[in-house]
Structure 1
Amino acid sequence: MITVQQADECLFNSAPTWGTEVVHLAQALGRILREEVQADRDFPPFARVSMDGIAIAYAEWADGRRTFAVAGQLPAGAPPQPLGGPGACWEVATGGVLPPGADTVVPYEQVTIANGQATVLAKDVRRGQNVHDQGKDRRAGEVLLAPGTVLGPAQMALLATVGHSRVCVTRRPSAAILATGDELVRVEETPLPWQIRLSNPWAIEALLAPWTSEAVRLHSADDFSALRAELLPALREHPLIIITGGVSAGKRDAVPDVLREGGAEVLFHKVSQRPGKPFLFARTSQGGVVFALPGNPVSAFMCAVRYVLPWVRRASGAVEALPQWAVLAEPLVFKPDLTWFVPVSVENRQGTLWAHPLPGHGSGDLANLHDANAFLEMPRGRDAFDVGEVFRLWPYP
């Protein structure tokens, strides 16, 4: 049995790269960028008007001129027009080009216009007001997006504005999610009193959805031949396999043996933690990986949040997420010499996260996962944890 820290080290050193693919911008949302994106021109690409009004030369106003001849109107999208001779101005619109020769925009609220003449009423006019200078935001060639960026709405807007219609992103792997257990029935079925409906695959598929191309849900009875029939093809066909159940010390827990039969190398089995002690990690002969998690719902979900998701992010080339921490809101006692991942409900008190423990009724208390929204990692080597202490937080995504 290894420690949580040793499991992290093994996982960190076992993250493959899944390659890249080029997709259209319309399919890029949520993907991991694998190229550097630069500004194709200055941002903004011209001196841009930032308020409706009249464009003037500030020096003329500073010299005492208050009335200007209106040369015309320049709506947004119109090509630039020179300011013209002394005493001229243009009516301009937000987002439009500032006429060459002008350097200041006086808003309509501070102007009267009659008979082709605009009179400035403002007592205070500043050079360059209401003008967004060319290149003020970014210069042509500056890096806008770095590899590893998760493409959200803001990043999609940047890609569009630089004309990046084809985007190089991480190729998403397919995943197989295999639940084992004689007691399990499909969600559409009515279980007998000694049976339960499958829930682990649905939770894990939801967790993996942003990171995988597809997830195939499989089920096997607690039988060596049945497990072989489901697991061995999955090892050949999918680079990412998640198994729930069949990894403890029971007589019918055959997952480790079938993995080895299929050519997989078990890198670790059993971690000194609760829940999730039987957690197993293996590498397939095809270069894929297997996360074999305990079958109890809380154990499986905790291992998926704590280990599987960070690993998948790393393998996808995403920028590492910053660690989160929370203050313990209630005292806790835990006697076993194990790292304890306790479900908690997190609240934000004036910018500080406080974690309220919700231990529930064991690793089968699936309903307690709904009441909580994170796991708090309580280190091994001690049995009492005091209010006000700070511990690592693993929030649900």
Structure 2
Amino acid sequence: TRIGAAETGICAAVGKAQIRVHRRPRVTILCTGSELVSVDERPAGHAIRNSAGPTITAALAQWGFPGARFVTLGDERRTIAAALRRALRNHDVILVTGGISVGRYDFVPEAIRAVGGEIRFHGVAMKPGKPSLYAAFGTNQHIFGLPGNPLSALTALHEYALPALRRLSGQPPERCRPSLFLPLAEEVESKPGRWRYQLARLEATARGLAVTPVGSHSSADLPSAGGADGVIRMAPDQRRLPEGEAVEFRPWRPWP
């Protein structure tokens, strides 16, 4: 049970000044990419500002996991492995952005193996977020590889890392990946073959809540994500969902 206002009052009423609770998991974020510069720097050449770090940090905080910090690393296997070793000394969960695809400079899987991590899955039939990775280190530490593009990283964070953090915090399995089944305010189409996570926003209608698809141009389209409240989850064999169809909506913001 999560301790909220009512639970706190119950504890006070029965004289429980102290209670035993699950410890909140300790989380850190490693952002890989030699092209990344800090937010207050002016990018030159092929450089880009590191938006993934602040995005993931804010998402964790809004879901009850504040205090995570991020560091930016270059695309070198030894550098990434050294950062993983340092992070494993003091953290339960490590989130790594970038470096998990099949490019020339994608060294994160090699670095994870170099520090003794066991990769349990790498690559998922989903869009966005296909390169997503999970590795275990021993029995109590976890590494999640998130794609470098911010929208893909947010999708993988909500689909894999946040449910794991909730479970590690003591929440029951049925509450670790919240979802609602709501009618579509307008039809949506999808290419078959992969699980599709379509940005969507909640709309209040005369009949109650409904969800409206929000278009996005790429897996780096953060402005579109800013106008969304979550995603519609579409199965690989679904090509079209008509207006009024009940769909699975997964929130990216806590709802009232």
Q: Same fold (TM over 0.5)?
A: yes
Cα distance in structure 2, aligned partners of 1:217 and 1:235: 14
> Aligned partners of 2:8 and 2:53: how far apart in 1?
31
**Structure 2 equivalent of residue 393 of structure 1:** 249
User: Is 1:207 matched up with 2:59?
Assistant: yes
Deviation at 1:158, TM superposition (A): 2.2
| 2:222 pairs with 1:366 | yes
Q: Distance in 2 between matches of 1:323 and 1:342?
A: 14
Deviation, 1:363, is 0.6
Q: CA–CA distance in 1 between the matches of 2:231 and 2:128?
A: 11
- Corresponding position of 2:133: 280
Q: What is the aligned partner in structure 1 of residue 40 from structure 2?
A: 188
Asked whether the 8 Å contact 1:207–1:309 carries over to 2, the reply is: no
The 2-side partners of 1:231 and 1:246 are apart by 13
Q: Does 1:300 align with 2:157?
A: no
2:119 alignment counterpart: 266
Residue 168 (str. 1) matches residue 20 (str. 2): yes
Residue from 180, 183, 195 that aligns with 1:324: 180
CA displacement 1:89-143 (0-9 Å, x = unmatched): xxxxxxxxxxxxxxxxxxxxxxxxxxxxxxxxxxxxxxxxxxxxxxxxxxxxxxx
Q: Secondary structure at the match of 1:166?
A: coil
Instruction: Please point out which of 157, 173, 186 is paired with 2:9.
Output: 157
Q: What's the Cα RMSD here?
A: 1.9
- Greater CA radius of gyration, 1 or 2? 1
1:381 aligns with 237
SS of the aligned residue for 2:165 comes to helix
Gapped regions of structure 1 (runs ≥ 5): 1-148
Q: Alpha-carbon deviation of 1:315?
A: 1.8
Residue 357 of structure 1: how far off its partner (Å): 0.8
Cα distance, 1:350 vs structure 2: 4.5
Match of 2:201 in 1: 345
Confirm whether residue 257 of structure 1 aligns to residue 110 of structure 2. yes
Q: Structure 1's 364 and 213: CA in aligned 2 closer, same or farther, altered over 3 A?
A: closer
**In 2: Cα distance, 1:285 partner to 1:213 partner:** 25
Counting only pairs closer than 5 Å after superposition, residues 1-397 of structure 1 correspond to structure 2 as: 149-192=1-44, 194-209=46-61, 211-212=64-65, 214-285=67-138, 287-319=140-172, 320-321=174-175, 323-350=179-206, 352-397=208-253
Conserved 8 A contact 1:280-1:293: yes
Q: Is the 8 A contact 2:150 2:222 kept in 1?
A: yes
In structure 2, the gaps of 5 or more residues are: none
Structure 1 residue 212 displacement after superposition: 4.4
Q: TM-score, normalised by structure 1?
A: 0.59
Structure with the largest fraction of helix: 2
TM score, norm. by length of structure 2: 0.90
Amino acid at match of 2:21: V
